[in-house]
């Protein structure tokens, strides 16, 4: 056998992937060749030493801390913009909540199906343009239905919350 083949068999033995036939041929060669036997003993000694080492597990944010120290932390501008947009959206929802607009809007929409279709078309255009603007910044596939569902659920939430608060006002008066 060639010595490269023996080195490969030694590695297979260390990885516990050696077959019985390969083990027999390795043992036979190691008894005949002192150079390979020395290599085998060194490799087995290193394997024993490595198995006795203590395992080290860094903290969860270790990579982030190292990158921050080296100055490689990315600071996305859009994260600030997202906070501003979120604040503006919440302010808009609060303003709509305190106005009679949701009750009037849903009252008109419930009685007029064509108005509902027109509103849906306009909202679809807005959501499609919003999708094109946000798509480069979002890592998951961005569907046009997501903002549409968000808008509809926000309006319904505000409507029902507004009705509940108006009932409470009437009861307290």
Q: What is the pLDDT of residues 16-60, one digit of tens each?
A: 889 999 999 989 988 998 988 998 999 999 988 888 888 777 888
State the alpha helices, DSSP H only, in the chain: 3-14, 20-32, 34-52, 62-70, 77-97, 101-111, 113-134, 145-172
Q: How far apart are CA 64 and CA 60, in angstroms?
A: 9
What domain range is 45 assigned to?
3-52
Question: How many domains would you assign to the chain?
Answer: 2
pTM higher than 0.75: no
For residues 103 and 46, state if they share a domain: no
Angle between helices 77-97 and 101-111 (to 10 degrees): 80
Residue at 59 is within a domain: no
Residue at 34 is within a domain: yes
Are residues 25 and 1 in contact, defined by beta-carbon separation less than 8 angstroms? Answer: yes
Q: Supply 34's token pair.
A: 């002192």
* Confidence grade of residue 129 (pLDDT, cut at 50, 70, 90): confident
Residue at 90 is within a domain: no
As to burial, measured by CB atoms within 10 angstroms (0-12 exposed, 13-18 middle, 19+ buried), residue 97 is middle
Residue at 93 is within a domain: no
Name residue, tokens 């002192």. Answer: 34
Q: What is the pLDDT of residues 143-165, one digit of tens each?
A: 666 666 777 777 777 777 777 76
Residue at 64 is within a domain: no
């Amino acid at each position: 056998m060639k010595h490269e083949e023996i080195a490969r068999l030694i590695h297979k033995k260390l990885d516990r992937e050696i077959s019985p036939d390969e083990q027999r041929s390795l043992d036979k060669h190691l008894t005949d060749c002192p150079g390979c036997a020395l290599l085998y003993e060194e490799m087995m000694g290193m394997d024993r030493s490595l198995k006795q080492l203590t395992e080290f597990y860094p903290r969860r944010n270790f990579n982030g801390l190292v990158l921050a120290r080296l100055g490689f932390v990315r600071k996305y501008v859009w994260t600030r913009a997202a906070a501003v947009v979120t604040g503006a959206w919440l302010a808009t929802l609060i303003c709509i909540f305190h106005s009679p607009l949701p009750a009037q809007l849903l009252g008109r929409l419930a009685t007029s199906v064509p108005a509902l279709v027109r509103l849906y078309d306009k909202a679809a255009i807005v959501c499609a343009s919003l999708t094109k603007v946000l798509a480069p910044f979002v890592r998951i596939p961005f569907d046009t239905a997501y903002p549409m569902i968000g808008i509809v659920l926000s309006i319904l939430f505000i409507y029902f919350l507004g009705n509940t608060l108006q009932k409470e006002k009437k009861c307290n008066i």
